[in-house]
Structure 1
Amino acid sequence: MTEQKATNVHWHEGDVTRADRATLLGQRGATIWFTGLSGSGKSTVAVALEKALHAQGRLVYRLDGDNVRMGINKNLGFSAEDRAENIRRIGEVAKLFVDAGVIVLSSFVSPYRADRDKVRELHEADGMDFVEVYVDVPLEEAEKRDPKGLYKKARAGQIKNFTGIDDPYEAPTQPELILPSHLMTLDEEVQALIAMLKSRQILPA
């Protein structure tokens, strides 16, 4: 874990608890972590789930890979070290949202298993729900979609350290849910996610 450099700092508890906020909102805060290759459909399903949950009156917020890299993580590149720090920061931000009672939808390639496991450990150490969703499509399918033209640039050598081409993707071994987005409709994916959230009592049944 990252070294604590600041000294003489202490965590301050408030009088309003996480359970109080959950009662107010009628939901439990949780991080739903979408991982998969670029072009797998992570952002697409996260956007659709956010819309569906909002329509049900749920407090939900989506953290997107590109969006985060344009703000809090704009000083990070795509080396293994920078990827690890990117995911660590996102994990800490997600925890703050969860503590506030929000259902967080985090859609990031997050290619390294160890980095995702550290975010899970961060959550579980504080009794928070972390749900890993593997949006699983074959590389050839993701490359065929190539919505941002990134695979084409990577194949041409214009992008380095691109996951699936010259950088590895380590698939989850025990995700809470697998979505083969090339075999499912978007509505089927959303319904599978909502059913899973209900089964874990993040949403009321």
Structure 2
Amino acid sequence: MNRQDRNELNQHKSCVLWFTGLSGSGKSTLANEVEKQLYKRGIRTYILDGDNIRLGLNKYLGFSAEDRKENIRRIGEVSKLFVDAGVLVLTAIISPYEADRAIARNMFDTGEFIEIYVNCSLEICEQRDPKGLYKKARNGEIKEFTGISAPYEAPSSPELNIETGEYSLMESAEFIIEYLIQRQLL
């Protein structure tokens, strides 16, 4: 059995939707909504979220540049296994450095890695602050926090740029579904 056989069995192609953006931009929320929409269409999916990955696979990694690089590499490798298994995988991780995202992209064949920039201003992300992390970072309780004391390099040419401060969750999810249909992945 190979990926083509699995894709045939599933009646859809496999790929990775790589959601990147600041904390609070809506990556996980959007990935979960896209997964719901794909489930309704009978698409086999799995979400790899920054939080669930750091609880297990990357439990002992910190937030230094080297640890972040290793975090992204491991998530790329796991995503590659899911894609080979015929699953459409959604990753919702900050992945702050463009070079690290490029390493992940290079693990995949052309068209299998779909970078989705969940584009939201720092101001809106701080207003949302669902986990209270920005407040802690501003108070010096969290070192190396992306967007405050550590950089975030926005993608220079993502496949999709979703401005979650301007569009509703449903509109944002629909942009992604339409992209997948146009690319004949569904």
Deviation of 1:129 after TM superposition, in Å, equals: 0.3
Aligned to 2:12: 27
- Following TM superposition, by how much is the alpha carbon of 1:128 offset from its aligned partner in structure 2, in angstroms? 6.2
Confirm whether residue 118 of structure 1 aligns to residue 89 of structure 2: no
Q: Report the 3-state secondary structure (helix = DSSP H, G, I; strand = E; otherwise coil) of the residue aligned with 1:187.
A: helix
1:77 alignment partner AA: G
Given that 1:98 and 1:128 are in contact with CA atoms closer than 8 Å, whether structure 2 keeps it comes out as: no
% identical aligned pairs: 56
Match of 2:73, SS? helix
- TM-score, normalisation: structure 1: 0.89
SS in 1 for 2:161: strand
Partner of 2:126: 143
Is 1:153 matched with 2:157? no
CA distance in 2, matches of 1:202, 1:75: 35
1:181 aligns with 2:164: yes
- Aligned counterparts of 1:195 and 1:105: Cα–Cα separation in 2: 16
The one-letter code matched in structure 2 to 1:40 is S
CA separation in 2, counterparts of 1:163 and 1:67?
A: 18
Alpha-carbon distance in structure 2 between the residues aligned to 1:85 and 1:113: 14
Residue from 149, 154, 157 that aligns with 1:171: 154
Paired with 1:69 and 1:128, the residues of 2 have a C-alpha distance of: 27
Is structure 2 residue 22 aligned with structure 1 residue 37? yes
Q: CA offsets, 1:92-145, max 9 Å, x none?
A: 000000001100000000000000000000113xx5600000000111110111
Question: TM-score, length-normalised on structure 2?
Answer: 0.98
Corresponding residue number in structure 1 for 2:50:
65
* Aligned-partner Cα distance in 1 for 2:10–2:21: 30
SS in 1 for 2:172: helix
SS class of match (2:107):
helix
Q: Which runs of 4+ in 1 moved over 6 A?
A: none
Distance 1:18 1:66 in 2: 28
The answer as to whether partners of 1:135 and 1:178 remain within 8 angstroms in 2 is yes
Question: Which range is displaced more, 128-137 or 30-39?
Answer: 128-137
What is the Cα deviation at residue 52 of structure 1?
A: 1.0
Show the counterpart of 1:11. none
Question: SS in structure 1 opposite 2:120?
Answer: coil
- For structure 2, the residue ranges without an aligned partner over 5 or more in a row are none
CA distance in structure 2 between the partners assigned to 1:139 and 1:172 by the alignment: 15
Answering whether residue 64 of structure 2 is matched by residue 79 of structure 1, we say: yes
| Alpha-carbon distance between aligned partners in 1 of 2:2 and 2:54, rounded to the nearest angstrom | 31
Q: Tell me which structure has the larger Cα radius of gyration.
A: 1
1:83 positional shift = 0.2
Could you tell me how far apart the structure 1 residues matched to 2:122 and 2:170 are?
23
